[in-house]
Amino acid sequence: MPLFKKKQQQELSLSDIVLPEHIGIIMDGNGRWAKKRGLPRSAGHTAGAQTFRKIARYCSDIGIKYLTVYAFSTENWRRPKEEIDALMRLFKDYLQEAIRDFKDDSIVLRFIGDRSAFSPELLSLMNENEEESCDRDGMVLNIAMNYGGRAELVTAIQSIAQQAADGVLKPEEISEALVSDNLYTKGQPDPDLIIRPSGENRTSNFLLWQSAYAEYVIMDVLWPDFTERDLDKALIEFAKRNRRFGGV
């Protein structure tokens, strides 16, 4: 970590700090943003999608290696049908745009979560985006869709249990590393920093295993209003933290 003590009386910039390798963002506040403006919730999701595009590219530009964004949770299916339909249309538009407009970007696209609930059209677009971007060498962008941390752990446990039943491994061989290797984020480092806009103080079932030692930064700004400057503030706040990972 940088020698922060020498800078504590000054305003830090990104050039003064060591950036986290992996950032997670809980993109929260779209509905409240729309309500404050007397707009339908779908308008908030549209504005939030624009913020997502902007922040994802900014993270890539400044050198973040992994970015995981919470786009749609396993619990979001409980929302009104018209809102879900609007979100699915937004996902479709984004996926089509990504294929068309991200060709010259270095971003690698991956989708984490249970894909079984999505339409064949969305599944095809997800697969196409992953295939088109798999050979790129830039930031890995994980988009969590129909994702829940508990559901992810259940899926991992089921996979491990099946391996044990098949005689591939013994119960005493189950380790933290094995669990990690059966998660959606297999092969990626755990997030260093998780940012939650909107001021809510909860994890919302996001990356429960992976975030065991992540630093959380809660910000009182609704996601559609989130800017590059807000991200800079979160990164600078992260740089001030003393991460001990259970040590002294």
Say how far apart CA 12 and CA 29 lie, in whole Å: 28
Residue pair 72/28 in contact (Cβ under 8 Å)? The answer is: no
| Structure tokens belonging to residue 33 | 């943003």
Say how far apart CA 15 and CA 187 lie, in whole Å: 29
Closest by CA to 155, choosing from 209, 191, 226, is: 209
| Structure tokens belonging to residue 209 | 């295993």
Closest by CA to 84, choosing from 146, 142, 9, is: 146
Residue pair 236/215 in contact (Cβ under 8 Å)? The answer is: no
E strand residue ranges, 148-238: 193-197, 215-219
Task: Give the residue numbers annotated as catalytic, written as ranges.
Answer: 28, 76
Say how far apart CA 113 and CA 142 lie, in whole Å: 10
Say how far apart CA 233 and CA 138 lie, in whole Å: 23
Q: What are the residues whose beta carbons fall under 8 Å from the beta carbon of 33, sequence distance 6 or more?
A: 44, 47, 48, 222, 223, 224, 225
| Strands 22-26 and 215-219, bridge-based pairing | unpaired
